[in-house]
Structure 1
Amino acid sequence: MFTVTRVADNRLDIEFGGKLDSEEMKAALDDLSSKAVGIDNGLMLYRIEDFALPTLSAIAVEFMRIPEMFKLIRQFERAAVMCDKQWIQTISELEGKLIPGLHIKAFDMNQVDQAELWLTSP
């Protein structure tokens, strides 16, 4: 499952769970790209539950679209990642250190208020 909801002019909420195959990955990236159109200085709130690594074919789809995804990610300045798996939180925050201009902070699933506050604070 991968759902993208545009909740404001500058914000996307993304829910992710389970294992994606190549068709689901393509649909997910298409949906993400279309809903991000026109966003500048954007915010993202990720909710990751029941994470499973995508299939190899899904990873191949993602790699083929890396240039497009790098362009898209530059539209965003903050991402709050909510997940109860510590290793995903750690990787998420590391990603934020590697992507210029994007700040990522991880939260437990029960920290919705803290995630929202951090995401929207100046």
Structure 2
Amino acid sequence: MFTVEKTGKNLIQIEIGGKITAEEMAAGLDALLPLTKQMEDGRMLAIYHDIEFPEAGAILEEMKRLPQLFGVIGKVKKVALVSNQKWIRDMAVLEGKILPGTTIRSFEFKDRAQAEAYVGSEGATNDEGDDFENFPV
């Protein structure tokens, strides 16, 4: 499963779960990339449900779109990643340290409300401001 939904002016929610196939990766990226084109100071809520390592074809689909995905890095400034899988949260922390201009914080499912508040999806009417510290957790 790989779903993408725009939930605010500069807010996208993605949900990923299970073993991602090449078809799911292609469809997910095809949905994601156009939504980020017009973003400024974008935010993303990424929800990972019991994810498994993707199929080889899914990795190839992602590799084909690397130039476009690098463009997303400059558009998305804040990411809240929600997962009960520690290795996913640990990878998010690492990415948050190496991606310039992007802050990634990770949360367990029990803390999803905090994740939503972090990216501003709680109430979803105010795309302005941020009272949170700017560092990965």
TM bracket (short chain): over 0.9
Aligned length: 122
Tell me the CA shift for residue 35 of structure 1: 2.1
* Matched residue, 1:19: 19
5+ long unaligned stretches in structure 2 = 121-129, 132-137
User: What value does the CA root-mean-square deviation take over the aligned residues?
Assistant: 1.1
Distance 2:82 2:99 in 1: 19
Distance 1:76 1:113 in 2: 20
| Counterpart AA for 1:60 | L
Determine helix, strand or coil for the equivalent of 1:4.
strand
Per-residue deviation, residues 57-83 of structure 1 (Å, max 9, x unmatched): 110111121111010121011000000
| Counterpart AA for 1:80 | A
* Matched residue, 2:68: 68
5+ long unaligned stretches in structure 1 = none
The residue correspondences of 1:92-103 to structure 2 (distance < 5 A) are 92-103=92-103
Query: 1:4 touches 1:35 (CA, 8 Å); kept in 2?
Result: no
Say whether 1:108 aligns with 2:108: yes
Tell me the CA shift for residue 95 of structure 1: 0.4
Per-residue deviation, residues 51-108 of structure 1 (Å, max 9, x unmatched): 0111011101111211110101210110000000111101111101111000000000
Distance 2:69 2:19 in 1: 20
Determine helix, strand or coil for the equivalent of 1:110.
helix
What is the aligned-residue identity percentage?
A: 35
